[in-house]
Amino acid sequence: MSKPIIGWIGTGVMGRYMCSHILPLSEKMYVYNRTKSKTEALVQEGAIACDSVKEVASKSDIIFTIVGHPQDVEQVYFGSDGIIANAKKGALLVDMTTTKPSLAIKINQEASKAGLRSLDAPVSGGDVGAKEARLTIMVGGDELSFNTALPFFEKMGKSFTLMGEAGSGQHTKMANQILIAGTMVGLCESLLYAQSANLDVEQLISTIGKGAAGCWSLDNYGPRIVKEDYNPGFMVDHFVKDMGIALEEARSMGLALPGLALVEQLYVSLQGGNNGRNGTQSLILALKRLSSKM
């Protein structure tokens, strides 16, 4: 069986690694990023850099996207220069951006009208998960499209589940982000407390990580906090975007999520302090500021 021609749009912190993992499965790999220099590493591996979304769409059998915000997704998919207007008939579109469930449904509807197929497939695992191909991939769409994309998901992640119809992947990611929000504030408060009690924080992480407090965030972000390493595995700006989507969806369902609302405000305060492009572990800086005012 011949290999498909693959298009990839969005080669940032996570996308560049995800694209690299599936490159061997493609006959050709066309890549596009608004900042073209971010495609250079992939070009060195054999990918072909394009100058527009339209160019990628017109040449590819399967098109993956992972961009920043819902408005970026809309720009990439819709309009005369977008994916849907320019993709080959029968092409499969896989959006791996975390975005609004309603937008995933709109993409699916418009793609279907144009003779295309689509999946929403947001991921969890951060930069480390992307680099090491250990992402969790949450998928919405039909089973045939899921099975077409499965060999590529297997190269990018360790878990990949079809959660239901279009939009279900994004709803699953919102549930994921709600849980992470609570975990991150607990993690940062725990480490701040330990530091104030003059504990060996590295030893603390190793010790409590073996008990009921053990979790992915403690293992991956705890050591970064100790080293005061606030480089992004996942940016504050993007997490604020995700929490805003989750709160909007919750309101539409008649749900109150006070814990999420509180964490969102803490992260918004980080944005106000010019920390929006830091990693989510920089939440501890907001808590330190609050403590200094007591």
With beta carbons less than 8 A apart as the criterion, state whether 31 and 56 touch: yes
Phi first, then psi: give them for residue 93, nearest 5 degrees. Answer: -110, 125
Q: Does the active-site annotation cover 131?
A: no
Q: How far apart are CA 218 and CA 187, in angstroms?
A: 6
Given the residues 38, 173, 288, 293, select the one marked as catalytic: 173
Q: How far apart are CA 20 and CA 43, in angstroms?
A: 10
With beta carbons less than 8 A apart as the criterion, state whether 260 and 181 touch: yes
Quick check: helix, strand or coil at residue 32? strand
DSSP character at residue 5? E
Quick check: helix, strand or coil at residue 200? coil
Picking from 23, 91, 97, the residue whose alpha carbon sits closest to that of residue 245 is 97
How would you classify the pairing of strands 48-49 and 62-65?
A: unpaired
Residues identified as active-site: 173
